[in-house]
Amino acid sequence: MKRIFFIITVSVFTVALFAFTGKLNNQQIAISNPINDTIHFDGEKHFANIRQLTFGGDNAEAYFSFDGKYIIYQRTNAKEGILCDQIWMGKVPAPGENFEPKLVSTGTGRTTCAYFYPDGKHILYGSTHLGSADCPPVPDRSKHGNKYIWPIYESFDIFKADLNGKIVKQLTKTKGYDAEATISPKGDKIVFTSMRDGDLDLYTMDLNGKNVKRITSTLGYDGGAWFSPDGTKILWRASRPSTPEEIKEYKDLLKENLVAPTNMEVWIANADGFDAHQVTFLEKANWAPNFTPDGKHIIFCSNHEYKRGFPFNMYITDIDGKGMEKISRDKGFDAFPMFSPDGKKIIFCSNRNNGGTRDTNIFIADWVE
Protein backbone atom coordinates (compact mmCIF):
# COMPACT_ATOMS: atom_id res chain seq x y z
CA MET A 1 0.00 0.00 0.00
CA LYS A 2 1.38 3.39 -0.83
CA ARG A 3 0.62 7.04 -1.20
CA ILE A 4 0.32 8.28 -4.73
CA PHE A 5 0.23 11.75 -6.24
CA PHE A 6 -1.22 11.81 -9.70
CA ILE A 7 -3.39 13.49 -12.32
CA ILE A 8 -6.57 11.56 -13.05
CA THR A 9 -8.35 11.72 -16.39
CA VAL A 10 -11.58 9.77 -16.57
CA SER A 11 -14.18 9.84 -19.32
CA VAL A 12 -16.37 12.43 -17.64
CA PHE A 13 -13.82 14.59 -15.94
CA THR A 14 -10.28 15.81 -15.66
CA VAL A 15 -8.97 16.86 -12.31
CA ALA A 16 -5.81 18.62 -11.35
CA LEU A 17 -3.10 17.17 -9.18
CA PHE A 18 -4.30 15.68 -5.93
CA ALA A 19 -3.48 12.80 -3.64
CA PHE A 20 -5.59 10.15 -2.17
CA THR A 21 -5.40 7.40 0.39
CA GLY A 22 -7.41 4.23 0.71
CA LYS A 23 -7.25 1.18 -1.37
CA LEU A 24 -8.79 -0.54 -4.38
CA ASN A 25 -7.78 -4.17 -4.07
CA ASN A 26 -4.07 -4.19 -3.34
CA GLN A 27 -3.23 -0.59 -4.14
CA GLN A 28 -3.45 2.45 -1.95
CA ILE A 29 -5.60 5.38 -2.85
CA ALA A 30 -5.57 8.51 -0.74
CA ILE A 31 -7.51 11.68 -0.99
CA SER A 32 -6.18 14.92 0.36
CA ASN A 33 -8.91 16.76 2.28
CA PRO A 34 -9.38 19.72 4.54
CA ILE A 35 -9.08 18.76 8.19
CA ASN A 36 -12.35 17.26 9.35
CA ASP A 37 -11.59 15.41 12.55
CA THR A 38 -14.61 13.34 13.40
CA ILE A 39 -15.25 9.62 13.50
CA HIS A 40 -19.04 9.82 13.12
CA PHE A 41 -20.68 12.04 10.52
CA ASP A 42 -24.26 13.29 10.44
CA GLY A 43 -26.40 10.94 8.38
CA GLU A 44 -24.51 7.78 9.37
CA LYS A 45 -27.58 6.40 11.11
CA HIS A 46 -26.52 2.76 10.83
CA PHE A 47 -23.38 3.31 12.95
CA ALA A 48 -23.35 3.41 16.75
CA ASN A 49 -20.49 3.35 19.25
CA ILE A 50 -17.97 3.82 16.46
CA ARG A 51 -14.38 3.29 17.52
CA GLN A 52 -11.03 3.93 15.83
CA LEU A 53 -8.64 0.97 16.09
CA THR A 54 -5.50 2.20 14.31
CA PHE A 55 -3.78 5.58 14.42
CA GLY A 56 -1.41 6.47 11.61
CA GLY A 57 -0.08 4.95 8.43
CA ASP A 58 -2.14 3.18 5.78
CA ASN A 59 -4.33 0.44 7.21
CA ALA A 60 -6.68 -1.41 4.88
CA GLU A 61 -8.67 -4.55 4.10
CA ALA A 62 -9.56 -5.32 7.72
CA TYR A 63 -11.61 -8.51 7.95
CA PHE A 64 -13.19 -10.53 10.76
CA SER A 65 -12.36 -14.14 11.61
CA PHE A 66 -15.21 -16.63 11.17
CA ASP A 67 -15.99 -16.45 14.90
CA GLY A 68 -15.85 -12.64 14.87
CA LYS A 69 -13.20 -12.50 17.61
CA TYR A 70 -10.18 -11.40 15.54
CA ILE A 71 -9.29 -8.94 12.78
CA ILE A 72 -6.67 -9.31 10.07
CA TYR A 73 -5.50 -6.45 7.85
CA GLN A 74 -2.60 -4.98 5.90
CA ARG A 75 -0.53 -2.03 6.97
CA THR A 76 2.13 0.38 5.70
CA ASN A 77 3.79 2.99 7.89
CA ALA A 78 7.06 4.46 6.65
CA LYS A 79 7.63 6.19 9.99
CA GLU A 80 7.84 2.75 11.60
CA GLY A 81 9.95 1.25 8.82
CA ILE A 82 7.04 -0.61 7.22
CA LEU A 83 7.67 0.52 3.65
CA CYS A 84 5.03 -1.58 1.92
CA ASP A 85 2.04 -3.61 3.06
CA GLN A 86 2.51 -6.32 5.70
CA ILE A 87 -0.19 -8.42 7.37
CA TRP A 88 -1.22 -7.79 10.97
CA MET A 89 -3.71 -9.53 13.23
CA GLY A 90 -5.36 -8.57 16.51
CA LYS A 91 -8.20 -9.47 18.84
CA VAL A 92 -11.37 -7.38 18.57
CA PRO A 93 -11.05 -5.24 21.70
CA ALA A 94 -13.77 -5.11 24.33
CA PRO A 95 -14.86 -1.65 25.54
CA GLY A 96 -11.96 -0.11 27.44
CA GLU A 97 -9.38 -2.47 25.95
CA ASN A 98 -6.65 -1.43 23.51
CA PHE A 99 -6.32 -2.95 20.08
CA GLU A 100 -2.96 -4.76 20.11
CA PRO A 101 -2.10 -6.25 16.70
CA LYS A 102 0.92 -8.37 15.84
CA LEU A 103 2.78 -8.96 12.59
CA VAL A 104 1.85 -12.29 10.97
CA SER A 105 3.50 -11.98 7.53
CA THR A 106 7.20 -12.38 6.80
CA GLY A 107 8.03 -8.67 6.95
CA THR A 108 9.57 -8.89 3.47
CA GLY A 109 8.22 -8.19 0.00
CA ARG A 110 4.71 -6.77 -0.38
CA THR A 111 1.61 -8.53 0.92
CA THR A 112 -2.09 -8.16 0.24
CA CYS A 113 -5.58 -9.53 0.86
CA ALA A 114 -5.35 -11.59 4.06
CA TYR A 115 -8.18 -13.82 5.25
CA PHE A 116 -8.85 -16.30 8.05
CA TYR A 117 -9.39 -20.01 7.54
CA PRO A 118 -12.65 -21.34 9.03
CA ASP A 119 -10.64 -23.49 11.49
CA GLY A 120 -9.54 -20.32 13.32
CA LYS A 121 -5.95 -21.61 13.33
CA HIS A 122 -4.66 -20.41 9.98
CA ILE A 123 -4.67 -17.44 7.61
CA LEU A 124 -3.90 -16.89 3.97
CA TYR A 125 -2.52 -13.88 2.12
CA GLY A 126 -0.79 -12.86 -1.08
CA SER A 127 2.91 -12.02 -0.97
CA THR A 128 5.83 -11.18 -3.26
CA HIS A 129 8.52 -12.20 -0.75
CA LEU A 130 9.76 -15.19 -2.77
CA GLY A 131 10.47 -12.87 -5.69
CA SER A 132 12.42 -10.42 -3.55
CA ALA A 133 12.69 -9.36 0.07
CA ASP A 134 12.44 -5.75 -1.08
CA CYS A 135 9.25 -3.84 -1.83
CA PRO A 136 8.52 -4.24 -5.56
CA PRO A 137 8.94 -1.10 -7.70
CA VAL A 138 6.12 1.37 -8.20
CA PRO A 139 5.15 1.85 -11.87
CA ASP A 140 6.06 5.10 -13.64
CA ARG A 141 2.65 6.63 -14.30
CA SER A 142 4.12 9.42 -16.41
CA LYS A 143 4.57 6.83 -19.17
CA HIS A 144 0.80 6.35 -19.21
CA GLY A 145 -0.45 9.92 -19.14
CA ASN A 146 -0.34 10.02 -15.34
CA LYS A 147 -3.41 7.81 -15.20
CA TYR A 148 -4.11 5.94 -12.02
CA ILE A 149 -2.80 2.41 -12.57
CA TRP A 150 -2.13 -0.64 -10.42
CA PRO A 151 0.84 -2.93 -10.81
CA ILE A 152 -0.06 -6.60 -11.14
CA TYR A 153 3.13 -8.05 -9.69
CA GLU A 154 4.04 -11.39 -11.23
CA SER A 155 5.72 -12.45 -7.99
CA PHE A 156 2.45 -12.46 -6.00
CA ASP A 157 1.56 -15.93 -4.76
CA ILE A 158 -0.88 -17.09 -2.09
CA PHE A 159 0.37 -18.60 1.17
CA LYS A 160 -1.17 -20.36 4.16
CA ALA A 161 0.27 -19.51 7.58
CA ASP A 162 -0.49 -20.19 11.21
CA LEU A 163 -1.54 -17.44 13.62
CA ASN A 164 2.08 -16.85 14.62
CA GLY A 165 3.05 -16.11 11.03
CA LYS A 166 4.78 -19.39 10.19
CA ILE A 167 4.09 -20.27 6.56
CA VAL A 168 2.87 -23.86 6.39
CA LYS A 169 2.07 -24.09 2.67
CA GLN A 170 2.47 -22.20 -0.58
CA LEU A 171 -0.93 -22.52 -2.24
CA THR A 172 -0.09 -21.16 -5.72
CA LYS A 173 3.09 -21.66 -7.74
CA THR A 174 1.99 -20.84 -11.28
CA LYS A 175 3.89 -18.03 -13.00
CA GLY A 176 2.03 -14.72 -12.85
CA TYR A 177 -0.17 -12.79 -10.45
CA ASP A 178 -2.07 -14.85 -7.84
CA ALA A 179 -3.76 -12.87 -5.04
CA GLU A 180 -7.07 -11.47 -3.72
CA ALA A 181 -8.12 -14.72 -2.04
CA THR A 182 -11.08 -15.32 0.29
CA ILE A 183 -12.56 -18.54 1.70
CA SER A 184 -16.06 -19.95 1.57
CA PRO A 185 -17.92 -20.19 4.90
CA LYS A 186 -18.62 -23.79 3.88
CA GLY A 187 -14.91 -24.42 4.36
CA ASP A 188 -14.41 -26.10 1.01
CA LYS A 189 -13.18 -23.51 -1.50
CA ILE A 190 -10.91 -20.51 -1.97
CA VAL A 191 -11.72 -17.94 -4.65
CA PHE A 192 -8.87 -15.80 -5.99
CA THR A 193 -7.71 -13.70 -8.93
CA SER A 194 -4.99 -14.94 -11.27
CA MET A 195 -3.38 -13.95 -14.55
CA ARG A 196 -2.15 -17.48 -15.27
CA ASP A 197 -4.19 -17.74 -18.48
CA GLY A 198 -3.41 -14.27 -19.81
CA ASP A 199 -6.26 -12.22 -18.30
CA LEU A 200 -7.24 -11.24 -14.75
CA ASP A 201 -9.88 -13.85 -13.98
CA LEU A 202 -11.44 -15.55 -10.98
CA TYR A 203 -10.46 -19.08 -10.02
CA THR A 204 -11.43 -21.46 -7.25
CA MET A 205 -9.31 -24.08 -5.52
CA ASP A 206 -9.56 -26.40 -2.55
CA LEU A 207 -8.23 -25.16 0.78
CA ASN A 208 -4.99 -27.05 0.16
CA GLY A 209 -4.43 -25.39 -3.23
CA LYS A 210 -5.56 -28.33 -5.35
CA ASN A 211 -8.34 -28.63 -7.96
CA VAL A 212 -7.89 -25.16 -9.47
CA LYS A 213 -10.76 -24.12 -11.74
CA ARG A 214 -11.25 -20.96 -13.78
CA ILE A 215 -14.74 -19.53 -13.26
CA THR A 216 -14.70 -16.27 -15.30
CA SER A 217 -13.57 -15.77 -18.88
CA THR A 218 -14.88 -12.39 -20.09
CA LEU A 219 -12.20 -9.84 -20.98
CA GLY A 220 -11.54 -7.47 -18.08
CA TYR A 221 -10.25 -7.36 -14.54
CA ASP A 222 -12.24 -9.70 -12.26
CA GLY A 223 -11.14 -9.38 -8.65
CA GLY A 224 -11.94 -8.90 -4.99
CA ALA A 225 -14.37 -11.82 -4.83
CA TRP A 226 -16.35 -12.85 -1.73
CA PHE A 227 -18.56 -15.83 -0.99
CA SER A 228 -22.10 -15.43 0.32
CA PRO A 229 -22.73 -16.49 3.94
CA ASP A 230 -24.07 -19.86 2.77
CA GLY A 231 -21.24 -20.32 0.27
CA THR A 232 -23.53 -20.67 -2.75
CA LYS A 233 -22.76 -17.35 -4.49
CA ILE A 234 -19.88 -14.97 -5.09
CA LEU A 235 -19.66 -11.20 -5.43
CA TRP A 236 -16.81 -9.36 -7.12
CA ARG A 237 -15.89 -6.18 -8.95
CA ALA A 238 -15.11 -6.23 -12.64
CA SER A 239 -14.00 -3.96 -15.44
CA ARG A 240 -15.47 -4.69 -18.85
CA PRO A 241 -13.64 -2.84 -21.65
CA SER A 242 -15.96 -2.78 -24.62
CA THR A 243 -14.92 -0.21 -27.23
CA PRO A 244 -11.89 -0.84 -29.47
CA GLU A 245 -10.03 1.92 -27.64
CA GLU A 246 -10.85 0.50 -24.19
CA ILE A 247 -9.88 -3.01 -25.21
CA LYS A 248 -6.57 -1.85 -26.69
CA GLU A 249 -5.71 0.15 -23.57
CA TYR A 250 -6.58 -2.75 -21.28
CA LYS A 251 -4.51 -5.25 -23.26
CA ASP A 252 -1.57 -2.88 -23.67
CA LEU A 253 -1.43 -2.22 -19.92
CA LEU A 254 -1.79 -5.91 -19.13
CA LYS A 255 1.29 -6.66 -21.25
CA GLU A 256 3.18 -4.47 -18.77
CA ASN A 257 1.49 -6.14 -15.78
CA LEU A 258 -0.61 -3.03 -15.16
CA VAL A 259 -4.32 -2.24 -14.96
CA ALA A 260 -6.31 1.01 -14.77
CA PRO A 261 -9.17 0.38 -12.28
CA THR A 262 -11.23 3.52 -12.83
CA ASN A 263 -14.38 1.88 -14.26
CA MET A 264 -15.66 -1.11 -12.32
CA GLU A 265 -19.05 -2.55 -11.45
CA VAL A 266 -20.27 -5.15 -8.95
CA TRP A 267 -21.11 -8.61 -10.31
CA ILE A 268 -22.71 -11.69 -8.78
CA ALA A 269 -22.75 -15.37 -9.78
CA ASN A 270 -23.19 -18.84 -8.41
CA ALA A 271 -20.09 -20.06 -6.57
CA ASP A 272 -19.06 -22.06 -9.64
CA GLY A 273 -19.19 -18.95 -11.85
CA PHE A 274 -22.47 -19.79 -13.59
CA ASP A 275 -25.33 -17.30 -13.94
CA ALA A 276 -22.97 -14.33 -13.74
CA HIS A 277 -24.65 -10.95 -14.06
CA GLN A 278 -24.00 -7.32 -13.30
CA VAL A 279 -25.54 -5.82 -10.14
CA THR A 280 -24.56 -2.13 -10.31
CA PHE A 281 -24.80 0.15 -13.34
CA LEU A 282 -23.42 3.29 -11.71
CA GLU A 283 -20.26 3.89 -13.78
CA LYS A 284 -16.98 5.06 -12.26
CA ALA A 285 -15.40 2.81 -9.58
CA ASN A 286 -17.78 0.49 -7.73
CA TRP A 287 -15.83 -2.07 -5.75
CA ALA A 288 -15.09 -3.84 -2.43
CA PRO A 289 -18.49 -5.58 -2.44
CA ASN A 290 -19.54 -7.88 0.37
CA PHE A 291 -22.70 -9.63 1.53
CA THR A 292 -24.72 -8.79 4.59
CA PRO A 293 -24.86 -11.73 7.04
CA ASP A 294 -28.36 -12.69 5.89
CA GLY A 295 -27.18 -12.86 2.27
CA LYS A 296 -30.02 -10.59 1.11
CA HIS A 297 -28.09 -7.33 0.65
CA ILE A 298 -24.78 -6.11 -0.73
CA ILE A 299 -22.53 -3.47 0.79
CA PHE A 300 -19.91 -1.84 -1.44
CA CYS A 301 -17.78 1.26 -2.02
CA SER A 302 -18.31 3.79 -4.82
CA ASN A 303 -17.40 7.24 -6.12
CA HIS A 304 -20.31 7.36 -8.58
CA GLU A 305 -21.89 10.49 -7.08
CA TYR A 306 -18.91 12.71 -7.76
CA LYS A 307 -17.69 13.98 -11.13
CA ARG A 308 -14.19 14.59 -9.78
CA GLY A 309 -13.85 10.94 -8.74
CA PHE A 310 -13.96 11.32 -4.96
CA PRO A 311 -15.04 10.99 -2.17
CA PHE A 312 -15.48 7.25 -1.94
CA ASN A 313 -18.38 6.24 0.31
CA MET A 314 -20.14 3.02 1.25
CA TYR A 315 -23.58 1.99 0.01
CA ILE A 316 -25.95 -0.87 0.68
CA THR A 317 -28.38 -2.33 -1.84
CA ASP A 318 -30.65 -5.29 -2.38
CA ILE A 319 -28.98 -8.28 -3.99
CA ASP A 320 -30.56 -7.30 -7.31
CA GLY A 321 -29.12 -3.76 -7.15
CA LYS A 322 -32.36 -2.07 -6.12
CA GLY A 323 -33.10 0.07 -3.06
CA MET A 324 -29.61 1.55 -2.78
CA GLU A 325 -28.82 3.58 0.37
CA LYS A 326 -25.72 5.63 1.18
CA ILE A 327 -24.43 4.65 4.61
CA SER A 328 -21.17 6.61 5.09
CA ARG A 329 -20.36 10.30 4.74
CA ASP A 330 -16.62 10.91 4.98
CA LYS A 331 -15.35 13.58 2.56
CA GLY A 332 -12.40 11.46 1.54
CA PHE A 333 -12.47 7.69 1.66
CA ASP A 334 -14.65 4.99 3.26
CA ALA A 335 -14.15 1.43 2.01
CA PHE A 336 -13.58 -2.28 2.70
CA PRO A 337 -16.76 -2.86 4.70
CA MET A 338 -17.34 -6.21 6.36
CA PHE A 339 -20.00 -7.28 8.84
CA SER A 340 -19.21 -9.49 11.81
CA PRO A 341 -20.67 -12.99 11.35
CA ASP A 342 -23.54 -12.21 13.75
CA GLY A 343 -24.32 -8.96 11.92
CA LYS A 344 -23.96 -6.86 15.06
CA LYS A 345 -20.81 -4.98 14.01
CA ILE A 346 -19.28 -3.50 10.89
CA ILE A 347 -15.61 -2.84 10.24
CA PHE A 348 -14.27 -0.50 7.55
CA CYS A 349 -11.30 1.68 6.61
CA SER A 350 -11.48 5.46 6.31
CA ASN A 351 -9.60 8.75 5.99
CA ARG A 352 -11.79 10.24 8.73
CA ASN A 353 -10.20 11.72 11.84
CA ASN A 354 -6.71 11.75 10.33
CA GLY A 355 -5.78 15.34 11.21
CA GLY A 356 -5.60 16.42 7.57
CA THR A 357 -3.00 13.78 6.71
CA ARG A 358 -3.40 11.02 4.15
CA ASP A 359 -3.61 8.29 6.79
CA THR A 360 -6.18 5.55 6.39
CA ASN A 361 -7.31 3.87 9.60
CA ILE A 362 -9.58 1.05 10.72
CA PHE A 363 -12.92 1.73 12.41
CA ILE A 364 -15.44 -0.61 14.02
CA ALA A 365 -19.03 0.21 14.93
CA ASP A 366 -22.22 -1.39 16.13
CA TRP A 367 -24.61 -1.87 13.21
CA VAL A 368 -28.06 -0.30 13.60
CA GLU A 369 -30.82 -1.53 11.29
Residue 305 contacts residue 313 (beta carbons within 8 Å): yes
Q: What is the pLDDT of residues 59-110, one digit of tens each?
A: 999 999 999 999 999 999 999 999 999 999 999 999 999 999 999 999 999 9
Give rounded-to-5 percent helix, strand, coil for the chain: 5, 45, 50
Secondary element (H or E) of residue 71: strand 70-77
Name the pTM for this structure. Answer: 0.90
Task: Please report, rounded to a whole number, the percentage of residues in the chain having pLDDT higher than 90.
Answer: 86
For the chain, give the mean pLDDT.
90
What's the distance, CA 95 to chain centroid?
27
Secondary element (H or E) of residue 38: none
Residue 312 CA to residue 330 CA, distance in Å, equals: 8
CATH architecture of 4-367: 6 Propeller (2.120)
Q: What are the residue boundaries of the structural domains of the chain, listed by start?
A: 4-367
Mean of pLDDT values over 109-122:
97
Residue 222's φ and ψ, nearest 5 degrees, are -100, 120
